[in-house]
Amino acid sequence: MESLKEYLNLLPGPKLTSTDVAQRMKAIEEEPYTSYPNEELREGCLAIFNEEAELGTELSAIIGRIADYVQEEEERERLEREERYKRARVAEQDAAEARLLSGADCKWTQFRGAPHFYCRTNGRTFRLSPTADKKWELFRVDRPSPDDNGEYIGRYIGRGNATKVVAEMAFQPDYRR
């Protein structure tokens, strides 16, 4: 902050105090198009500042280099978060598929690359298949397989409607067996 005050006082205009600079920095941070300081990047920014100040680099150039560093680090962190999210989604999908295949009750699960959704409620397996007119056909099946045509239950506008039917049917007496 002190280096910034000294630099700004080299410019024409009234002399600034540390309070002037601190309050202006606070106002800049609160403007909607800027982001708050990232405390995790503080050490790296200070290292750049000290390195460049030692070389005699002008403060405006140091600020530019620090801004570039912050932008690169935030982009790297964003990509890492995105990759972690993708890995977590794949792990969730694998777990859902494993639950369905193991015979455990589970919510609607779609196998990778398959158009059908399967769920198991009260030990009964149901398949929801999309139609050409963007509706859904519900079937009671023995196992999750697109080859198992199963027993046709009905055609529904949305998955939510089919889910309501499954919730009722799953606890009705089973006449199939």
The total of other beta-carbon atoms located within 10 Å of residue 145's CB is 15
User: Domain spans of the chain?
Assistant: 2-83, 103-169
| Whole-Å CA distances, 130 to 92, 110, 138, 153 | 23, 12, 9, 14
Q: Let me know: does 170 contact 121? Beta carbons within 8 Å.
A: yes
User: 7 CB contacts (<8 Å, ≥6 apart)?
Assistant: 58, 59, 60
Q: What confidence score (pLDDT) does residue 144 get?
A: 84
Q: What confidence score (pLDDT) does residue 5 get?
A: 86
- Summarize the confidence of residues 2-11 as an average pLDDT: 84
Q: pLDDT by residue (tens digit) across 82-111?
A: 999 999 999 999 998 999 888 898 999 988
Q: What confidence score (pLDDT) does residue 175 get?
A: 63
Comparing 148 with 164, which gets the higher pLDDT?
164
In percent, the amount of the chain with pLDDT more than 70 equals: 95
- Summarize the confidence of residues 164-172 as an average pLDDT: 86
**Which pTM does this prediction carry?**
0.60
Comparing 35 with 27, which gets the higher pLDDT?
27
pLDDT at 29 over 80: no
pLDDT at 50 over 60: yes
What confidence category does residue 6 fall into, taking pLDDT thresholds of 50, 70 and 90? Answer: confident
pLDDT at 34 over 70: no
